[in-house]
Structure 1
């Protein structure tokens, strides 16, 4: 049987993660209203990092061809 305190901790962590995701989505929407474009959200719990950035209109950078 799972101990009640473990269940409570898991539910609390899930709630906190949902709160973080909601806050990031809110901020991304606000940035979109101000700056336009498409925004990407990245939440990395291992490195304790949240990134909200506008996607590039040009796509990914490609290496420049070497000059002979």
Structure 2
């Protein structure tokens, strides 16, 4: 592979990654409009998974009572 081909492949991969991020942002905004709340995005290209999930705002952590 020549350096030109390597550069072209790198640019194409970067564009595809940016497209994935933009699509996830669009989905998160649509979910917010449809369901309310705040939505988080997690994209893992190594494991090939994308997640758009509602953020659950939890109260302060309190220790669980011990079981005797």
| TM-score bracket relative to the smaller structure | 0.7 to 0.9
Q: Which residue of 1 aligns with 2:15?
A: 15
TM-score, normalization by structure 2? 0.86
Gaps of 5+ in 1: none
Q: CA deviation at 1:60?
A: 8.1
Q: CA deviation at 1:29?
A: 0.2
Q: Which stretch shows the higher mean deviation, 24-33 or 51-60?
A: 51-60
CA RMSD of aligned residues (A): 2.1
- Aligned structure 1 segments of 4 or more residues deviating by more than 4 angstroms: 59-63
TM-score, normalization by structure 1? 0.86
